[in-house]
Structure 1
């Protein structure tokens, strides 16, 4: 009797294991719970893949920034501006401690008035080219910029400044640019006299909070200027050659500003506060854009006292950046990874439940890992090709792998082919959503509704009481 009792006791764990395995095979609830747990576990590799995409995207930005800094960053040109000094006076009361008397002392200081041109014509020729480093590339350019215009009589009456306090023999002309490093030529002719520019240090050499730092170029003292010099408008002409990257912008400071820009770059995009007025700006050779901007079109005046205002927000220009949206699209596709894994597991679950074919948790895990491999293939291939080709290669590879693997699990070709077609439709649906912008939400919602309706229809025959 003791021997028999001992034998039964030793077989108890094996019986419990067999019962658990049998329950896992036969219970719908157990299989459903197992599929849910595996789906959640596979979120871990999806999270690491998303981090990989972020890292590669940041690396791409760093390389582009490094190339741009060596060649020359984006160009924002702000000029030309007359800088006219004038005297101001203030009174200060001083008390003599010995005599206990007070007296008033007049203090003199120098302030500056800034006057914009009455008309400004900007003519620019920009020829971009691609620069590559490894698998990353960016657009840089050489630009020839000509600024022509004239200044009318400066009006000091707005600030109630006495004309006799204006220091005409210290007047200068200034131009501000975001890209001092890229300037190779800067020449000015004003009132038939040639001038050179010199840069002035402003104490800010680095970008802060993604804002451009403007550097000032100014001439020596302009010769022979007085209030009588403006009986006729004083003409000026500036010639600039600047190396830059990514984009080029101008600020329309003329009472009337006209601008033309020609280039051999066909993928440019126009942006800023003002857009070209000509509809035929794109040509077979590139583009030829024209602007016409009046002082009525912008909310700032033609003269400023004390300090030159920051007017970056009113600039207009052209963007030459090479669009690199592969990482953005890959990141968007990873966000649908949970949906792809969940629906694929649900498909296998329904096949397993309706056909009574046993699928082991390990096989579910292999299928899930194959689905996550889609995203690593997508990211790595898209770095060397376009997104569509990478998506096709990754999709065909993963769908073929899962279809062939399903044949070893499900024996016949009927279910594996159905799975392959379903995955093809799902990946096609996700690709369409990724390409859409304005209609992504509505198309995605309709697609998920249809998928839910199909699942509800197929699962209506399942006996959910068998748990």
Structure 2
């Protein structure tokens, strides 16, 4: 009788075997990488669009601010002898060629106090670029210019044609009248037709240094208001340079050659405060130059206003775990299928895979209109609920769907925690994957893979 029953059982084909099912599920997992790559391209495209809007707004409002000044500029004459030969007589005479050159002197003391306030009025659709208004005050003094170090004779100095100059970027975004107070006299800055390395030149009208200086010292004081974006930086040209910046931006990045003072620096949800003090001994350039000002961009320091991780960076990081989510979800369904002997069609696997891909499109679209955390929660709940309800119809009970819902919830929560980490993301991810592997090995230990 038993032999007759065995003979009546039809032998399974290869396509009905566990091995074939594993191959088909694995192949489907690889196929689903194609729409996942499309999602990653969409994220990159939206990020690029945000960068384009940021550049457009920066061009209209104002770009990075770099400030190099104020500088005392004093002309001097120089003489060059050259021979002139008379073509008729052949006699040679010596004549002098007189040229006017300029000497530049950096301040003895330079103090800057700046208040940088963010501006949210330039929102473009769903994008809100980082722009700000900087109210800056400069004060300090110039002391007796040392022409001897430049090998310039005192009788060649044109003291009555001195001026103050400033080199700065972003000239079109200056929003205040520019006047500098020199001891008891006020002079206006005017733009000069001189552009080099993205810098623009501002210069006062000429004044008599000897008449204006008190005890060979000129104190200066002026204010300037900028519209800017991204960063604010200074060149420490003072023999002693002090810079202080206050802002309502919560995530600054302090950049440049010189570090801010850690004892006075503070960062909170309301903004930040930072101070710098740079001495002439801290940098390797002089306090006076002749003919040409040096390029001192390598000595720039200041602050960059940043988004620690913007929504597109977060979406990109989440999408990199897409293969892991799809693979583990299919593995859970395959183990349930193997343990319970319930047949799950490859089409049903496909529907589950597409639902998992939809998580990423939901996430990026909702993130653009809300916070990333809220978008992640909404997208995760929607996809877990959809797959759970679909599993009820597939598995014909509530025990396995609830296990699937719990597993997916834990997996999405695990990925969310990882992407929020900076220093410990790799460690947490490695430990999490280890426990996931251990769980898979435990639940699959009694499955008969020979069938």
TM-score range, shorter chain: 0.7 to 0.9
Aligned ranges 1:148-187 → 2 under 5 Å: 148-184=139-175, 185-187=177-179
Q: 1:51 to 1:432 in 2, by over 3 A?
A: same
Where do 5+ consecutive residues of structure 2 fail to align? 1-9
The correspondence for 1:259, drawn from 243, 249, 253, is 243
Seen in structure 2, the aligned counterparts of structure 1 residues 102 and 345 have a Cα distance that, compared at 3 Å, is farther
| C-alpha distance in 1 between matches for 2:297 and 2:232 | 12
Q: Kindly indicate whether the alpha-carbon contact (under 8 Å) linking 2:131 and 2:229 is maintained by their aligned counterparts in 1.
A: yes
Matching residue within 397, 401, 406 for 1:416: 401
What is aligned with 1:115?
105
Is 1:389 matched up with 2:349?
no
**Corresponding residue to 1:55 among 26, 45, 48:** 45
Q: Tell me the residue number matched to 1:142.
A: 133
Quote the residue 1:32 is aligned against: 22
Where do 1:44-443 residues align within 5 Å? Answer: 44-87=34-77, 109-131=99-121, 132-184=123-175, 185-202=177-194, 213-221=198-206, 223-226=207-210, 229=213, 231-263=215-247, 265=248, 267-269=250-252, 271-272=254-255, 273-279=258-264, 281=266, 286-321=271-306, 325-443=310-428
* CA shift for structure 1 position 277: 5.0
* Kept in 1: contact 2:253–2:305 (CA 8 A): no
In the alignment, is the contact (CA less than 8 A) between 1:72 and 1:182 conserved in 2?
yes
Measured in 2, the distance between the counterparts of 1:110 and 1:428 equals 72
- Structure 1 stretches lacking a partner, 5+ long: 1-17, 205-211
Shift of 1:226: 4.9
Q: TM-score scaled to structure 2, two decimals?
A: 0.87
Give the 3 Å change call, closer, same or farther, for CA 38–143 of structure 1 in structure 2: same
1:196 is displaced (CA, Å) by 1.4
| Partner Cα separation in structure 2 for residue 202 and residue 128 of structure 1 | 31
Mapped to 2, the partners of 1:459 and 1:344 lie a distance apart of 15
Counterpart CA distance in 2 for 1:47 and 1:284 is 37
Deviation at 1:377, TM superposition (A): 0.5
Q: Deviations over 1:342-401 (max 9, x none)?
A: 111111122222222211111111111110100001101111111111111000111111
2:5 aligns to what?
Answer: none
**In structure 2, do the counterparts of structure 1 residues 411 and 170 end up closer, same or farther at CA, with 3 Å as the change threshold?**
same
Return closer, same or farther for 1:177/1:418 CA change in 2, 3 Å cut-off: same
3-state SS of paired residue (1:138) = coil
1:124-148 deviations in Å (ceiling 9; x for gaps): 3333321222111134333332211
Q: Is the 2:250–2:269 contact (alpha carbons within 8 Å) kept by the matching residues of 1?
A: no
- SS of the equivalent of 2:237 reads coil
Task: Please tell me whether the aligned partners of residues 264 and 275 of structure 2 are also in contact (alpha carbons under 8 angstroms).
Answer: no
